């Protein structure tokens, strides 16, 4: 029944596209074209290794902390053992990228596939897979944008006696892993993102414990059995920044002059707005943006954490030595930005009075994140525009690649995802507005190319331009309406949206 419904939907996709074009003639005033973006601006889509690759125990790959987390039942009871089986179907998927007109494709390398156990010899079969994968993209004119760390640190590395010990070893291991990637793939890969969503990785994994590796302490986390929510998030981000800057120093010293690539760092970008116009709420929203964004951006641009964070966290936030500050400052060629929704913020200054505090209490604010749990995100494109303006004004307008932006729906088999079209149309338009106002945004990557495994929701939520039929042993891919919309836009036609967003 599912496959029959998919085939029926497929037959009227083009009709729906035609209908939407007519609707735009009547209702639309905000259309734009691919050519409206400046020369060099690149459009693509993305996935990450564990969400789509599958072959989790094939050809020498070892478990990562996400494998362990999923098999413990925390990813909606699902796991990435098979996922979309991109490991075996990558040529088919690259052809779909060509059909869609992608100019770039962002993906991550599975550290534990390339270097099982996180350190030691390179796995030749893992190396061969990523070489083949990159070559396939290049041969079809698609830029590979590679992320080195997307939660996939190995289980062996995380099983150390303290987070401090892990963090120090992580710097060394990550630099060695990065060097393998630069050396083996850097002749073809020009765009490297070292670490994905360091801010959310630290909060989810080391404060409230809801993401890998699941460390936390009462009363802040859930199901806490190990960890310290008051200190570990700060320690983890500190050492991720140092690991990144170590890899960047290596790249600039050994590879930049011959490979001419670019190395960046990714943040998860909530845009926080005040719940009311009161001075307290306005200040609280500014404080929240300093904590979520300035936590990463300030060290990378200025060499130290925001003063508001240092004042709130005190000795719980590590201090950069003079050498470390010099290493971290200026250690990015670009910033990767993942943005999905906007959060409203209320002041809660009383939280600072608690004897035991974590990152959330240090902000002294209530941040509304109900949109993250909804079946769909509200469409608030002003949030992305304002975020880009903030980065421009506060941090000297660094080059920005929007690496994840997309709409969540339920994975129910329908290919008519008009809500995703409305979302993409609005947010891409906001990027164009920001670029026209001077933002140095240089690329946009829709999340995601395929329906894959989601960290918390398993295969329940859907973000993909392409549906993957998990009930079909061939795991066939089917283009959704959004895939046609994106393809039409990338191939030069005027953007279209449905009347539902008007």
* Short-list 235, 213, 228, CA closest to 154: 213
Residue 404 annotated as catalytic: yes
**Tokens at residue 4, please?**
């029959």
Extended beta strands in 102-198, E state: 104-108, 143-149, 191-195
d(CA 108, CA 70): 18
Query: What is the rounded distance in angstroms from the CA atom of residue 122 to the CA atom of residue 132?
Result: 16
In contact, 376 and 412? CB cutoff 8 Å = no
CB-CB contact of 309 with 317 (8 Å): yes
Query: Distance (Å, rounded) from C-alpha 501 to C-alpha 19?
Result: 15
Contact criterion met (CB below 8 Å) for 167 and 160: no
Which are the contacts of 138, defined by CB distance < 8 A and separation ≥ 6? 144, 188
Q: Among positive and negative, which fits the CA dihedral 190, 176, 402, 461?
A: positive
Q: Is 275 helix (H, G, I), strand (E, B) or coil?
A: coil
197 annotated active-site: yes
Of the residues 197, 232, 324, 364, only one is catalytic, namely: 197
419, 375 contact by CB (below 8 A):
no
What does 292-313 look like in DSSP terms, one character per residue? IIIHHHHHHHHSS--HHHHHHH
C-alpha torsion sign, points 308, 310, 314, 316:
positive
b/e code 206-236 from CB counts within 10 Å (16+ = b):
bbbbbbbbbbbbeebbeebeebbbbbbbbbb
Cite the beta strand spans of 236-383 per DSSP E: 262-268, 271-274, 334-338, 342-347, 365-368
| Contact by Cβ (8 Å): 169, 97 | no
Given the residues 53, 389, 404, 454, select the one marked as catalytic.
404
Pairing of strands 262-268, 191-195: parallel
* Rounded CA Rg of the chain: 22
Looking at residue 18, the DSSP 8-state letter turns out to be H
Residue 6: closest CA among 384, 367, 469: 469
What are the C-alpha distances in Å from 257 to residues 185, 332, 333, 424? 15, 16, 14, 37
Sequence length of the chain is 502
Residues marked active site are found at: 197, 404
């Amino acid at each position: 029944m599912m496959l029959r419904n998919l085939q029926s939907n497929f037959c009227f996709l083009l009709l729906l596209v035609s209908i939407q074009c007519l609707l735009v003639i009547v209702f639309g005033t905000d259309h734009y074209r691919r050519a409206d973006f400046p020369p060099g601006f690149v459009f693509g889509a993305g996935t990450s290794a564990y969400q789509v690759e599958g072959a989790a125990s094939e050809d020498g790959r070892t478990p990562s902390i996400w494998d362990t987390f999923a098999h413990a039942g925390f990813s909606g009871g699902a796991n990435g053992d098979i996922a979309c089986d991109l490991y075996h179907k990558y040529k088919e998927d690259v052809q779909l990228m060509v059909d869609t007109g992608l100019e770039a494709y962002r993906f991550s390398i599975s550290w534990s596939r390339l270097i099982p156990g996180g350190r030691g010899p390179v796995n030749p079969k893992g190396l061969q897979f990523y070489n083949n994968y990159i070559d396939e993209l290049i041969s079809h004119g698609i830029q590979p944008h590679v992320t080195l760390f997307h939660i996939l640190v190995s289980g062996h590395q995380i099983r150390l006696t303290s987070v401090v010990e892990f963090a120090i070893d992580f710097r060394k291991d990550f630099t060695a892993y990065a060097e393998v990637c630069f050396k083996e793939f850097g002749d073809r890969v020009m765009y490297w993102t070292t670490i994905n969503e360091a801010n959310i990785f630290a909060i989810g994994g080391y404060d409230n414990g809801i993401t890998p590796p699941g460390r936390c302490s009462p009363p802040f986390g859930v199901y806490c059995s190990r960890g310290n929510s008051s200190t570990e998030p700060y320690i983890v981000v500190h050492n991720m920044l140092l690991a990144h800057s170590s890899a960047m120093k290596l790249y600039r010293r050994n590879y930049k002059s011959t490979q001419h690539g670019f190395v960046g760092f990714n943040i998860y970008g909530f845009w926080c707005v005040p719940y009311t116009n009161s001075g307290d709420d306005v200040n609280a929203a500014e404080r929240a943006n300093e904590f979520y964004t300035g936590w990463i951006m300030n060290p990378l641009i200025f060499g130290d954490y925001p003063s508001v964070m240092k004042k709130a966290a005190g000795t719980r936030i590590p201090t950069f030595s003079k050498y470390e500050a010099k290493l971290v400052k200026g250690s990015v060629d670009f910033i990767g930005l993942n943005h999905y929704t906007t959060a409203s913020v209320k002041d809660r200054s009383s939280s600072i009075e608690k004897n035991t505090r974590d990152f959330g209490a240090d902000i002294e604010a209530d941040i509304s994140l109900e949109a993250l749990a909804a079946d769909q995100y509200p469409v608030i494109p002003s949030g992305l525009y304002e975020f880009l303006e903030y980065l421009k004004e506060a941090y000297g307008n660094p080059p920005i690649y929007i690496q994840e932006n997309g709409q969540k729906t339920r994975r129910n088999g329908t290919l008519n995802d008009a809500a995703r079209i409305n979302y993409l149309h609005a947010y891409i338009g906001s990027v164009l507005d920001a670029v026209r106002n001077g933002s140095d945004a240089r690329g946009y990557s829709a999340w995601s190319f395929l329906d894959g495994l989601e960290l918390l929701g398993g295969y329940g939520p859907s973000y993909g331009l392409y549906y993957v039929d998990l009930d079909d042993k061939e795991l066939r891919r089917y283009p959704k309406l959004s895939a046609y919309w994106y393809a039409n836009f990338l191939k030069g036609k005027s953007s279209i949206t449905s009347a539902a967003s008007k």
